[in-house]
Each structure stands twice: as structure tokens, then as C-alpha cells.
Amino acid sequence: MSKMAPPEELMNVNYSTPSEPWMDVRPEFKPGTFSYPGKPDVLKYLGLPNPRDWSPTEEDWKLPPDWRETIRDGFRELLGKYRSLKVFMDCCVRCGACADKCHFYIGSGDPKNMPVLRAELLRSIYRGEFTVAAKILGKLAGARKLEEDVVKEWFMYFYQCTQCRRCSLYCPYGIDTAEITFLARDLMNRIGLNINWILEPAANCNRTGNHLGIQPHAFKDMMDFLVDDIETVTGRRVEPSFHRKGAEILFITPSGDIFAEPGIYTFMGYLLLFDYLDLDVTWSTYASEGGNFGSFMNDKWMKKLNAKMYAEAKRLGVKYIIGGECGHMWRVLNQFMDTMNGPADFLEVPKSPITGTVFENAKSTKMIHLVEFTADLIKNGKLKLDKSRNAGITATWHDSCNTSRGMGFFDEPRYVLENVVEKFVDMPSQTIREQTFCCGGGAGLNNGEFTEMRLRGGLPRGNALKYVQEKFGVNTMSCICAIDRATLPGLADYWAPGVKVTGLHELVGNALVFEGEEERTMNLRQEDLPGLEGSEEEE
Amino acid sequence: MAGLVTALLAVVALAAVAALGAGAGMAQVFGIYIPYVAVAIFVTGFIKKVLGWASTPVPFAIPTTGGQQYSLPWVKQAKFDNPSTPGQTFIRMALEVLCFRSLFRNTKVDNRPGEGTVGYGSDKSLWLFALIFHYCFLIVFIRHFRFFLEPVPFLVTGVEFVDSILQISVPTLYLTDVFFVVGVTFLLARRLFDSKVAYISLASDFFPLFLILAIALSGIYMRYFAKVDVIAIKQLAIGLVSFKPVIPPNVDWSFYMHFFLVCVLWAYFPFSKLMHLGGVFLSPTRNLPNNTRMVRHINPWNDPSIKPHSYADYEDDFREKMIEAGLPVDKEA
Ligand code: SF4
Ligand code: SF4
């Protein structure tokens, strides 16, 4: 990747439209704007068609000879399976309300990143192939023929969409470009147009249970390592268990949390909380991934990867499942899991063993969000929390796209956050809650080669962050998403240097006061606690 | 621009065809045959399209949630932006259909690199004019029932009374006529002058706008300028709806033009984006409650043969390493 221009320059986005009509503008594959294709052996492992070495920058994409037929048949099949697709293909009035809602458009000015035009890339083929009138009128009616350039454009722009659904919120008909992207990717997968950063994690999830390909013994090692770190910080030896049959709860979180900073601190927060409560919870290496990379591919793989959660819950005989902090994981858990892999009639309606609260809102999936669980604990006064352990933090909250627009999870995390930090301010109202802006890395786009485009797409979030940093001295952005924890540090370094990114349970872990504990001098990052001298004097 | 010009020419040509044709003694065609055909196309086309959507499964419940979910009892739910029951969803839909809730949210990007800020100011102009346009359309539509119904129902006379409350000019000016033209003009102006919207606009976006504008203007011409023989037109209209069509004398050519353009709109409707009228009710991101963790949504084509990579296979793959690491296994080596 070329060196990034400074933020001031990147902000200078050119929003003017080209003089040629969009159908005449060919996609240009410049480094930094696309992700590398799926590797042949990964495609083979997943049983996907057309494994080959190819590059988007070359003229010949080595499509299978009958690719047109495959796309046509696939399109027809999906139109028969998804009412959403059918309605969204027919109903757009091109009002443009969605146009400037996409972070990739705001950050790049490329008109094909306007959600409406992204969808038109597919819609033009729908018209050209499946509607009589438009077929006859051709370009005039926005119809075009299925040419190689068309699928090249699909590859470009459907892998420049993070499926964040911000566009859908503003559309008068709720047209959801994320859904269109999902189905376009399904089509592309049928002729071998996919990206490795989705396929390889999906393959890993299938075999090893998590997207990083961590094998069970290594997973345990990493856990041990974090357990040691917890001991260093708190003096407590927590004892997580694996695959313990008959445990009350199975806990599943995105595997990114065990692997890299700052996710590991959140992971330590989970462990501390469970230890504090003496919760009857177990972990699984087989189901060690909350995130669902299949949901970036097609419905089959989304279902197949998700199915492990219930399968493992059943095998272990737990009563219910708690899920950790993750975004797209929760989109799938909230809107797809029960439909795909339910009914979970072998589980019980989740009931907090500490507070007795019955989670009616999850009575069918039997899977609750850890933050719901924690918020309930705090509300019932079951946690002793010392905010001063997070002293020096002025926090803001990043609402993840998936939990925001595919769930509506806003007040619970804020409630927890306000109980563990002394200072909290929200970013401007049109950049949070349901209107939140994407980190730029969702739906499989958090790969290295895509960094430039991702940082451009990060402009709205980055700018809002910079605003509260300058105005209120915000120095920490907290979130409940593993992709955010991976993406936002880079985004913050670029757009608002000096702001740290934390998961929510990292801050909970810091603030938790154990009975008779030895005094902490460090936080979970093993940084000295600020103002410690002061508290010593008081004693 | 090609789209704009084509659409404009098409509407002018259609208007001319009717004006000339009716004058050339083809009143039967424009007053009787075409209307019947157009209505038949509209009805069958509309029903076919809606049935096509309705018969397609909704595999997943994918509401776009626009506020706080139903959660713990002390967390205040945004019931109508994130409904969890059918009743709340009904209200969400009513707000969407009747008040254009989503457009009400509209914002406009305001990127100021010089100041280093990006803002998203509220922009309700599209909401306002879309609302004006659609409601005027509805009222004008209702008003027209006076031509088809005898006696004229109270609702229609009531609407008419309010609409002409200003009592200006003879015949009295309908407010909706004015606002309607204002609404269409705004929508057209946006398409022309907002570069983003201009860039995405197709002939099929301009065509209905020009068509509707032409219908409005021809109607206004008939009423306020040509002052056509309303009794004769009512006779024609009642003849049509009672399936005893007649062509009364004294019907001005401008009526046939107006009526023909309306027929074009009917016939065009089911094949165009105007079907958003039906689609708005069927959008799965709006018309479903966000209760998928409470109530299982059924996907009729859910494939039970898709199974996870099984635990047994996983353990076979890693058994030794698991045992060595002290992880419990189902089968010892
Ligand atoms: S807001 Fe909806 S109807 Fe308007 S252009 Fe976008 S997708 Fe189309
Ligand atoms: S889902 Fe998000 S990334 Fe995709 S088009 Fe819509 S706003 Fe853009």
C-alpha cells in the first residue's frame, strides 16, 4: 500500500459526479481499494467453484466458461428465495435519500459507493435479464447486459460495502443495501469471485472452531497466558474450564478477543467477571468463534458455521448460552440463528443465577448478550465497582453497526459504561445509536491490503471522534465489537491520534472490586493506575 | 440527460397523440377503449406484481432497527422505531406509510475540510415536498370520485369543500392543484440540480414526473381555462363505470388529452418504480417486529441437511493435542 496522505488531505473529498454516465465508467483496481482474491486451496477446502490464481488488476479474471448462465440461474434462484431481493429490485425510486449516508461514499466521493448506485449495479442486470420492458428499452430504462465488466464492478463495489445498513435506515422503503450486497456476494461466489480475508477465516472457523485457525491446545495456551496476566494484575488465579459437561452456561465470544490487543483485555474482563460471580460457565474450543464469516459469503455457510453454537450447547448439556462482545456475531444471533438452527428446545430460558432475572427477550434463542447480563447485575447492585480504577479515562461510545441497526442495543452498554468510568460523553447525535457510522472494517474488509479505502470509509467515525477528543478531552473509545477492536485503533491513530480503544468488559474488569482483594496498582493493560498515590494517602 | 430528454419527448408525444386523435374523430378510442384497456392492465399488473412479491418467502426477519430494543424492564424501548410486537410494528408501518418516517430522518453531509469537520445537518426538504406531493395526489384522486359517483359521497364533497376554502377565482381554486404542481416541480428540480440525484436518474425516473406534471397541467387547463363541460364529462365517466359507455357531444379535446395521460399512467404503473406504492408494505426491513430472539421466524426453505463440521470430526482431528493440553475429550485415544 502506498503511504497514506495526511487526514487534512483525505478529508478533501471530491463529490462531483463524472461527466460520463455511470454505466460507461469502468472500475479501476488501484492498490488499497480492493481485497485480495480467495486462494485456490481455501476455495477447494470450502468446496467453492472455480479455484484458481487470479488478480483483479489483470485483464483476464479466468471466469468459468458458463459464468453468465451460472449468474442468471443463481439470480433467478435468489429472486425466488428472498422477498427482500425482489422488492428491493423493484421499488427503489432513486430518490437519493440513501446516497450520502454511506461512510464509503462520504470518505471517497465515488458515486458508485452511494448505496443506491451500488444496488443499481445489480438492479441493472435484473432489469436487463428479468423484466420485459427494460430489456427492450435497454440503457434508457437502466438495463444492461451481463458483461465481464459488470461482474468486475460487482467485485469492486460489493467488496466495498461493510453491510452496515446505515443506508437502510434512511430509505423510505427500507431498502437494505447490505442485503443486496449479501446476495450479490452469494452470486459472485458461484463463479469464483471472492476475497481471501473472508474465505480463509471461514475455512478456519469450520475446521478449528475459530477464524484465526487456533488449534485447541494453542487456544488453551493463550487462555493460560491471559490467566497469568490476570494474576499479575490482580493477584487472583482465575480458573476457566473447557468443555465441562453439565455446566450451566456456555460462553462464546469472537476469537479475536483471545488473540490480539486490545481484545485480550476484554477477554480478561470476561474471566474476571465470571470468577467474581463464581459463575457456572464453560468455554469451548470447538465453538470458539462468535463471529460468523459465513454471513459475508452466503446463507449456506452462515448457517453451517453458526450451527456449532447450538451443537456444542447440546453436547455439553448447558442450560443456555451467553455471547460476548461482537457485532456481526450479534446480527446473526439476533436475526438469523433461531431461524437457521433452532428451535433450541434442549435449552432453558436464560435466567441470571445471581439476580434471578429471566431474560424474556431471549426466550426462544436462549442466548443472551453478556452486556445484558452485566447491566442487570449492576442494576441489581451485585457488582462492587470502583470507577477510580479507570480514572483518567474520558470515554466515548462507539455503537457497532450490527448491534445498532440489526438489534437496537444502545442503553444497556451505555449503562454499564457509565457505571465503570468517571467521565463519559457521546459523539454528535447524528453519528451514534441507530445513525452510527461504521468502523470501515465490517463484512470481511478488515484486511491489510484494503487499509487505504477503509481509512477513507473511517472518515465519518474518525471525524466525530476527533470532535469529542478536541472538545471534551475524550481519550478512550469503548465498543462491543471484535472487528471494531481490531479496526478502530488504526482508525483512531489516523483520524484522532491519542485515543485508545477498549472493549466494555475490559473497563468492567478494571473496576471490579473483589472481596478482600489485594490493592491493584495496574490496570489490565499493566499500566500504572493514575492517582494511585492519592488513594494511598487517604488510607 | 438522455433520460430526461427522452422522457420529456415521450410525454409530449403522448399528449399530442391524444389531442390530435380525439380531434380527428377518435373519441371512442380515447374515451372508451383505451381507458378500459389501461385499467385492465393496471389491475392485473398490480395484482400480479404484489402476488409475485407476496408469494416469495421471507427467509429471515431482518428489520432495520431504528432505536432501543425491547430488553430489560428498566430499559426504555423505542417501541415504534424498534417494535417487538405486531401492534408496535403496525404503528411503525403506519408512521412510515402515512408520515414518511424514514425520510423525516434525512440528513445532508456537510464536509468542511477547511475547518476539519464533517456535519450531518437535518434536511427535511425531501420529506416535506414528498409529503405534499403524495397527499395532494391522494386528495386530487378522491376529488375525482365526484365524476364517477352519483350521488357524490359526503367524504368527496367534504374534501372538495376544504380544498376550495379560499374561494378564489371561478371555478374556485383548489389548493391541492397548486401544491401538487409545487410538489412535482420540486421533485423534478432535485433530479435536475442535485448532482448526485441527477447522476442516478434514469428516463424511468423522469417519465413519471413529466407524465404526472402533464396530467396536472392539462387538468388545470381544463378546469380553469377551457372551462370544459363538466356535465358531459360526468356522463362519460358514469357510462364507463357502469359499463354502458357513451361519448357525449361537447367534450373538449383537452379532456381526452388529460384522460389519455391518466390512462398511460395506469398502464405504466405496474411495470415501474411507482410500484413502491405496493412495495412499501412488503419491505422485510420495516414490516417485521424485532422479536427474533423471542419468537422463532420460520424459513420455508431452511435446509436441514446443512450441518456443522461435527464435534466428533473436530476431536478426531485434534484428539492427541487436546489430551496433551489437558482438554477434556469424548473419546480417549
Ligand atoms: S433511499 Fe431507497 S428509494 Fe431512495 S434511492 Fe436509496 S434505496 Fe432507492
Ligand atoms: S450497507 Fe453500509 S457500506 Fe453498504 S452501502 Fe449501505 S451504508 Fe454503505
Ligand at shortest distance from the CA of A97: 1
Pairing of strands B107-112, B117-122: antiparallel
Give the Cα separation of A422 and A393 in Å (integer): 7
Residues of B in contact with A47 (CB under 8 A): none
Partner residue facing B292 (CB), from A92, A334, A459? A334
Ligand 1 pocket, mutate which of A90, A94, A122, A126 (most atoms under 8 A from CB): A94
Rounded to an integer, the average pLDDT of B208-215 is 96
Q: What ligand 2 atom has the least distance to the C-alpha of A162? A: 3
Whether pLDDT at A509 is above 80: yes
A136 in reach of chain B (CB within 8 A):
no
Residues of B in contact with A244 (CB under 8 A): 328
Whether pLDDT at B264 is above 70: yes
Judged by DSSP in three states, A282 sits in strand
Whether pLDDT at A355 is above 80: yes
State residue A539's pLDDT score. Answer: 37
B85 in reach of chain A (CB within 8 A):
no
| Residue-averaged pLDDT of chain B | 94
Residue type, A82: Y
Nearest CA to ligand 1 atom 3: A92
B75 in reach of chain A (CB within 8 A):
yes
Edge-to-edge strands, sheet with A367-369: A281-283, A249-252, A320-323, A367-369
Strand ranges inside chain B, DSSP E: 107-112, 117-122
Q: For residues A491 and A351, is the Cβ–Cβ distance under 8 A?
A: no
Residue in chain A lying closest to B2 (CA): A140
Supply angle C-alpha A170, A503, A396, rounded to 5: 60
Ligand at shortest distance from the CA of A163: 2
Above pLDDT 90, what percent of chain B? 86
- The residues facing A320 across adjacent strands are A249
Cell numbers for A265: 483485555
Rounded CA Rg of chain A: 24
Q: A115 alpha carbon to ligand 2 midpoint, in Å?
A: 6
B65 in reach of chain A (CB within 8 A):
yes
Going by pLDDT thresholds of 50, 70 and 90, the confidence category of residue A2 is low
Nearest-CA neighbor of A252 among A216, A289, A221? A289
Q: What ligand 2 atom has the least distance to the C-alpha of A115? A: 5
Q: A178 alpha carbon to ligand 2 midpoint, in Å?
A: 6
Give phi and psi for A293, each to the nearest 5.
Answer: -75, -15
Ligand 2 pocket, mutate which of A106, A108, A177 (most atoms under 8 A from CB): A177
Nearest-CA neighbor of A35 among A177, A173, A201? A201
Which tens digits make up the pLDDT trace of A225-269?
999 999 999 999 999 999 999 999 999 999 999 989 999 999 999
Q: For residues A61 and A54, is the Cβ–Cβ distance under 8 A?
A: yes
Rounded to an integer, the average pLDDT of A9-22 is 94
- The residues facing A501 across adjacent strands are A477
B201 in reach of chain A (CB within 8 A):
yes
Ligand at shortest distance from the CA of A181: 2
Partner residue facing B296 (CB), from A93, A117, A339? A339
Ligand at shortest distance from the CA of B275: 1
Nearest-CA neighbor of A297 among A325, A332, A259, A257? A332
Could you give the count of Cα atoms lying within 13 Å of B93 in the half-sphere of its Cβ? 21
Residue in chain B lying closest to A427 (CA): B119
Nearest-CA neighbor of B210 among B192, B224, B223, B196? B192
Nearest-CA neighbor of A169 among B131, B135, B275, B82? B82
Burial of residue B148 (CB within 10 Å: 0-12, 13-18, 19+) is middle
Cell numbers for A534: 492519592
Judged by DSSP in three states, A252 sits in strand
Rounded to an integer, the average pLDDT of A78-103 is 97
Residue type, A244: R
B202 with A84: Cβ contact below 8 A: no
B107 with A101: Cβ contact below 8 A: yes
State residue B333's pLDDT score. Answer: 67
Residues of A in contact with B109 (CB under 8 A): 100, 106
Q: Give the residue with greater pLDDT, B332 vs B17.
A: B17
Number of H helices, E strands in chain A: 25, 8
C-alpha distances in Å from residue A515, one per residue of A236, A271, A375, A533, B60: 11, 16, 20, 22, 46
Give the Cα separation of B32 and B247 in Å (integer): 8
Ligand 2 pocket, mutate which of A106, A154, A166 (most atoms under 8 A from CB): A166
Which tens digits make up the pLDDT trace of A432-472?
999 999 999 999 999 999 999 999 999 999 999 999 999 99
Going by pLDDT thresholds of 50, 70 and 90, the confidence category of residue A532 is low
In sequence order, which residues have a C-beta less than 8 Å from that of residue A173 and are 6 or more positions away?
A87, A88, A91, A92, A93, B276, B279, B280, B283, B286
Nearest-CA neighbor of B275 among B283, B285, B284? B283
User: Between A370-379 and A263-277, two packed helices, what is the crossing angle to 10 degrees?
Assistant: 50
Nearest-CA neighbor of A180 among A83, A88, A96, A301? A88
Q: Where are the alpha helices (DSSP H) in A380-446?
A: 401-405, 411-420
Dihedral angle sign, alpha carbons of residues A439, A440, A443, A445 = negative
Q: Give the residue with greater pLDDT, A56 vs B250.
A: A56
State residue A538's pLDDT score. Answer: 42
Give the Cα separation of A328 and A351 in Å (integer): 24
Residues of B in contact with A376 (CB under 8 A): 72
Chain B nearest C-alpha distance from A299 (Å): 10
Going by pLDDT thresholds of 50, 70 and 90, the confidence category of residue A1 is very low
B28 in reach of chain A (CB within 8 A):
no
C-alpha distances in Å from residue B315, one per residue of A194, A285, B45, B306: 30, 10, 57, 20
Judged by DSSP in three states, B86 sits in helix
State residue A537's pLDDT score. Answer: 43
Give the Cα separation of A285 and A312 in Å (integer): 10
In sequence order, which residues have a C-beta less than 8 Å from that of residue B3 and are 6 or more positions away?
A140, B201, B202, B203, B204, B205, B206
Nearest CA to ligand 2 atom 6: A167
State residue A379's pLDDT score. Answer: 98
Which tens digits make up the pLDDT trace of A104-134?
999 999 999 999 999 999 999 999 999 887 8
C-alpha distances in Å from residue A35, one per residue of A1, A119, A375, A439, A469: 12, 20, 38, 17, 31
Give the Cα separation of A249 and A499 in Å (integer): 35
Q: Which residues line ligand 2 (CB under 6 A)?
A: A 101-102, 104, 115, 118, 161-167, 177-178, 181
A174 with B205: Cβ contact below 8 A: no
Rounded to an integer, the average pLDDT of B308-333 is 94
Q: Which residues of A98-134 are buried (b: 16+ CB within 10 A; e: fewer)?
A: bbbbbbbbbbbbbbbbbbbbbbbbbbbbbbbbbbeeb
Chain B nearest C-alpha distance from A371 (Å): 11
Place of cell 371555478: B171
Q: Is A100 in the pocket of ligand 1 (CB under 6 A)?
A: no
Going by pLDDT thresholds of 50, 70 and 90, the confidence category of residue A139 is confident
B59 with A299: Cβ contact below 8 A: yes
Q: For residues B45 and B269, is the Cβ–Cβ distance under 8 A?
A: yes
CA A149 to chain centre: 30
State residue A424's pLDDT score. Answer: 98
Give the Cα separation of B170 and B165 in Å (integer): 13
Nearest-CA neighbor of A296 among A188, A438, A368? A188
Give phi and psi for B93, each to the nearest 5.
Answer: -65, -40
Which tens digits make up the pLDDT trace of A389-434?
999 999 999 999 999 999 999 999 999 999 999 999 999 999 999 9
B68 with A410: Cβ contact below 8 A: yes
Q: What ligand 2 atom has the least distance to the C-alpha of A443? A: 3
Which tens digits make up the pLDDT trace of B226-239?
999 999 999 999 99
Nearest CA to ligand 2 atom 4: A161
Query: Cα torsion at B80, B85, B91, B95 (round to 10°)?
Result: 50
A365 in reach of chain B (CB within 8 A):
yes
Q: A351 alpha carbon to ligand 1 midpoint, in Å?
A: 42
Above pLDDT 70, what percent of chain A? 98
B100 with A172: Cβ contact below 8 A: yes
Q: Is A116 in the pocket of ligand 1 (CB under 6 A)?
A: yes
Cell numbers for A200: 480463509
Residues of A in contact with B134 (CB under 8 A): none
In sequence order, which residues have a C-beta less than 8 Å from that of residue B153 and are 6 or more positions away?
B145
Cell numbers for A43: 476455495
Nearest-CA neighbor of B38 among B242, B219, B251, B260? B260
Q: How many CB atoms lie within 10 A of CB A452?
A: 19
Which tens digits make up the pLDDT trace of B133-164?
999 999 999 999 999 888 888 889 888 888 88
Q: Give the residue with greater pLDDT, B151 vs B52.
A: B52
Residues of A in contact with B293 (CB under 8 A): 333-334, 338, 361-365, 367
C-alpha distances in Å from residue A520, one per residue of A238, A382, A511, A517, A536: 16, 21, 10, 8, 11
A137 in reach of chain B (CB within 8 A):
yes
In sequence order, which residues have a C-beta less than 8 Å from that of residue B10 and are 6 or more positions away?
B203, B207, B210
Cell numbers for B206: 423522469
